[in-house]
Amino acid sequence: MFSRNAQIYLRKDDTDSMQMVRPADAMCFRLTRGTTEILAFHPNQGSCSTFVCRGSDLLPLWTDLVGNRVHQFQPGSLGIATIAEERGWTVATAAMFPDPNPVRGDCLLLETPTTRDLWSRRDLEIFALRPAGRFLLQFRDRHAYVLTPRQGEYEAIRDAILDSNLDPGSTNAFTMHPQHRYPAGSLVKPYRFAAIEYKHRDVASEGGWDVVMDFRGQTIRPGMQMGI
């Protein structure tokens, strides 16, 4: 996600408040109407926390963040009013708009009506199917998304994903936004779903799923051959 260590200042110009996030520990960026959030893993603690940047206009910050053009975050700059370290994501309720831009090749994008989550591909641990039903994308530290296709579209999406092998360069966006929400002439063609539900638990172990790809405890990552 980051090309070099990110410095996150919880208080303006206070070096003692600065938290460092290594590139290997930045897992996901989230955009809501009022926040830009960075989910980071803490190896010494074996758990994650979220650095929440709040402000009135954070879209430019999001654009620079996704473009890997910013590595230092402080209140009072980049449209940020405050930064707080929190245990998890904030609760987003305001309507969001879809991302009209192609998704970074090293990432996977998941969009709900109120959130935009950009995940590092390297942190995808499980892709699973519930036959004739739903899809599961589960990331490091039990961050899971259950995706429900629109009526009659399960098989087409299943076949497209399996044909792509989730390789870099294949479709890497999953959204609930309909086509008409995108700007005219937009070239972005994500997989579209009736519902995308985020769950912070090990959904894959709850039964009923056919695991297509399981990278837990391994060093391989998307781009390897999958089989069912």
Mean pLDDT of 183-207: 92
Q: Kindly state whether residue 48 falls inside one of the protein's structural domains.
A: yes
Q: Examine the pLDDT at 145 and tell me if it is beyond 50.
A: yes
CA-angle at 150, arms to 128 and 145, nearest 5°:
35
Q: Which of 86, 115, 145 is the last residue of a domain?
A: 86
Q: Do 78 and 119 sit in the same domain of this protein? A: no
| pLDDT for the residue 53 | 98
| pLDDT for the residue 123 | 95
| pLDDT for the residue 202 | 95
Q: Do 210 and 122 sit in the same domain of this protein? A: yes
Q: Examine the pLDDT at 86 and tell me if it is beyond 70.
A: yes
Q: Which pLDDT band holds residue 186 (cuts at 50, 70, 90)? A: confident
Q: Do 68 and 12 sit in the same domain of this protein? A: yes
Q: Which pLDDT band holds residue 176 (cuts at 50, 70, 90)? A: very high
Q: Do 77 and 112 sit in the same domain of this protein? A: no
Q: Do 15 and 71 sit in the same domain of this protein? A: yes
Q: Which of 31, 52, 86 is the last residue of a domain?
A: 86
Q: Kindly state whether residue 92 falls inside one of the protein's structural domains.
A: no
Distance CA 178, CA 190 (A): 10
Q: Do 150 and 77 sit in the same domain of this protein? A: no
Q: Kindly state whether residue 111 falls inside one of the protein's structural domains.
A: yes
Q: Do 77 and 113 sit in the same domain of this protein? A: no
Mean pLDDT of 119-131: 95
Distance CA 142, CA 136 (A): 12
Q: Kindly state whether residue 98 falls inside one of the protein's structural domains.
A: no
Q: What is the pLDDT of residues 91-100, one digit of tens each?
A: 999 999 999 9
Q: Do 147 and 69 sit in the same domain of this protein? A: no
DSSP per-residue codes, the chain: --SS-EEEESSTT-GGGEEEE-GGGEEEEEE-SSEEEEEEEETTTTEEEEEEEE-S--HHHHHHHHTT---EE-TTSTT-SEEEEESS-----S------SPPPTTEEEEE-SS-EEEEEGGGEEEEEEETTTEEEEEEGGGEEEEEEEPTT-HHHHHHHHHHHTT-TTS--EEE---GGGSPTT-----EEEEEEEEEES-GGGGSS-EEEEE-TT-S--BTB----
Q: Kindly state whether residue 95 falls inside one of the protein's structural domains.
A: no
How many domains are contained in the chain? 2
Q: Which pLDDT band holds residue 184 (cuts at 50, 70, 90)? A: confident
Mean pLDDT of 180-188: 85
Q: Which pLDDT band holds residue 218 (cuts at 50, 70, 90)? A: low
Q: What is the pLDDT of residues 50-75, one digit of tens each?
A: 999 999 899 999 999 999 999 999 99
Q: Kindly state whether residue 135 falls inside one of the protein's structural domains.
A: yes
Q: Kindly state whether residue 141 falls inside one of the protein's structural domains.
A: yes
Q: Do 71 and 162 sit in the same domain of this protein? A: no
Q: Is the separation of the CB atoms in 93 and 71 below 8 Å?
A: no
Q: Do 74 and 10 sit in the same domain of this protein? A: yes
Q: Do 150 and 72 sit in the same domain of this protein? A: no
Q: What is the pLDDT of residues 155-165, one digit of tens each?
A: 999 999 999 98
Q: Do 126 and 201 sit in the same domain of this protein? A: yes
Q: Note down the domain range covering 57.
A: 6-86
Q: Kindly state whether residue 116 falls inside one of the protein's structural domains.
A: yes
Q: Which of 34, 52, 86 is the last residue of a domain?
A: 86
Q: Examine the pLDDT at 174 and tell me if it is beyond 80.
A: yes
